Amino acid sequence: MADVFDDLTAEFDQLDAMLASLTPEQWAHPSDAEGWSVADVVLHLTQTNEVITEPSIAEGTPFLSADGGSPARTVDGVVADMVAAERGVPPSDLLARWRATAFAVPGALRAHPPGTRLSWVRTPLSPRTLATTRIAEHWAHAQDIAVPLGIAYPDTARLRHIAWLAHRTLPYAFSVAGLPDAPVHCDLTAPDGTHWTFGDPSAPSRITGPAADFCRVGARRLTPAQTALTTAGPHAADALRVVRTYAA
């Protein structure tokens, strides 16, 4: 795959171009993130990017874990509280703040030495994995803005990072759903028509279809029934039901 830090910058560039085109009315428009306006979505992305540029991220302590003392708090609850605390920033100020922090993130992540584990939500992550999660989150929230506003946000080869993340974290998704882990092979069609494969080809369970659909299911922006994805084998349908690209 292409360098994940370069692709993170490219994802920021694509989102930035869309945000720069928005009118004040569009900033106030409801997004597809329930209860949030477009401005709220951008505030959330800004706040979480600001965490990445803080020195304390190198401590490696998860924000929400039994060891961290907040096992009962949900990720959704934490980020909702963060947004509520700062809601109402004027769009021009918010866009400037988002740009300042977003475009600092790839360099900040790249600067960490190999073997570093960075603080994140439920578990420490490597800089490369955290960059991958930021691509996934920014792409998903870009859908939350673009879809209700009727703005085109073309799929790109960067979806490969998101599809990899969705497949790589299937054991976590199974565990959250109370299901045993099971091997699943994915054969996905990229936006350019090539194929991306993940997992053991001999696995008894298989998911096949558009990578864009798989990524949207993982981001919980589409249900499996709304896609062209197909499943075969004993565990593929469960995998497609529980797959997720973000921490619960």
pLDDT score of 65: 62
- At residue 134, φ and ψ (nearest 5 deg) are -70, -35
> How many Cβ atoms sit within 10 Å of the Cβ of residue 184?
25
Strands 205-210 and 184-189: parallel
pLDDT tens by residue, 7-52: 999 999 999 999 999 999 999 999 999 999 999 999 999 999 999 9
Counting as low any pLDDT under 70, the low residues of the chain are 1-2, 65-72
Q: How far apart are CA 192 and CA 213, in angstroms?
A: 14
pLDDT score of 68: 47
Complete DSSP assignment for 117-167: -B--SSS-B-HHHHHHHHHHHHHHHHHHHHHHHT------TTHHHHHHHHH
Domains (ranges, CATH) in the chain? 4-149 (1.20.120.450), 159-242 (3.30.1050)
pLDDT score of 75: 85
**Residue 230 bridge partners (DSSP):** 208
pLDDT score of 69: 47
pLDDT score of 2: 62
Q: Please list, residue by residue across 63-81, b when 16 or more beta carbons sit within 10 angstroms of its beta carbon and e when fewer do.
A: ebeeeeeeeeeeeeeebee
